[in-house]
A and B are shown apart, each in its own frame.
Chain A
Amino acid sequence: MNIHNRIGMDLASFDRLLQEVVTSDRDLTPPSVVLSSVMDLINAGGKRLRPLMVVIGSRFGDNDNDSAVMKTAVLLEYLHMASLVHDDIIDQSDMRRGRPTLHETTDIQTAVQIGNYMIARAIEWAAHSNGEPDGSSEDVSEEEAYRLAELAALVTELCMGEYDQLHHRFNYDLTMEQYLEKTRCKTALLMAHCLKAGAEAAHADPPIAERLFQIGEAIGMAFQIQDDLLDFTKPKEAIGKPAGADLRNGNITLPVIYALNDPALAPKIRQLGPHSSEADMDDVIIHITVSTAIEQSEQLARSYAEQAQLMIGEFADHPAQQDLQALLQYFLP
Chain B
Amino acid sequence: MDMKLLQDTIDLLRSHIDSGTDIDWMEMDNRPVRDIADMLNAYELAYSRKMTVLACCMLIHTALDRHGKLQVQDNERLTRMLLDGDYLTGLMYRIAVKRKEWKLLSRLLPFHKRMQLNLLRKVPPEILLKELKHEVRSYLEQRSA
- Interface residues, chain A, with chain B CB atoms under 8 Å away: 27-28, 33-34, 86, 89-90, 92, 108-110, 112-114, 116-117, 119-121, 123-124, 127, 142, 145-146, 149-150, 152-156, 158-160, 162-164, 166-167, 169
- Residues B94 and A116 in contact, CB atoms below 8 Å apart: no
Does B31 sit within 8 A of A, measured CB to CB?
no
User: Can you name the residue of chain A whose Cβ is closest to the Cβ of B71?
Assistant: A108
B residues 60-78 in Cβ contact with A at 8 Å? 67, 70, 72, 75-76, 78
- Residues B116 and A114 in contact, CB atoms below 8 Å apart: yes
A155 to B104, CA, bound (A): 20
A172 to B22, CA, bound (A): 21
Contact of A113 among B94, B102, B116 (CB under 8 A): B116
- Residues B90 and A153 in contact, CB atoms below 8 Å apart: yes
Interface residues of B, dominant DSSP:
helix
- Residues A153 and B93 in contact, CB atoms below 8 Å apart: yes
- Residues A152 and B106 in contact, CB atoms below 8 Å apart: no
Given A112-B70, A127-B106, A164-B20: A152 and B90 interface contact (C-beta under 8 Å): yes
Interface centre among A149, A153, A159 (most CB of B within 10 A): A159
Note all chain B residues with C-beta closer than 8 A to A164.
20
Note all chain A residues with C-beta closer than 8 A to B85.
112, 116
Shortest beta-carbon distance, A256 to chain B, in Å? 20
Does B4 sit within 8 A of A, measured CB to CB?
no
A160 to B117, CA, bound (A): 27
A109 to B64, CA, bound (A): 12
- Residues A27 and B105 in contact, CB atoms below 8 Å apart: no
**Which of B6-14, B38-46, B107-115 lies on the face that meets chain A?**
B107-115
- Interface residues, chain B, with chain A CB atoms under 8 Å away: 18, 20-22, 67, 70, 72, 75-76, 78-80, 82-83, 85-87, 89-91, 93-94, 96-97, 100, 102, 105-106, 109-110, 112-114, 116-117, 119-120
Interface residues of A, dominant DSSP:
helix
Listed by A's residue number, 23 A-B pairs whose Cβ atoms lie within 8 Å are A27-B113, A34-B117, A34-B120, A90-B79, A108-B72, A112-B82, A112-B85, A113-B120, A116-B85, A116-B89, A124-B113, A127-B106, A149-B96, A149-B105, A152-B90, A153-B97, A156-B18, A159-B21, A163-B22, A163-B83, A163-B87, A166-B80, A169-B76
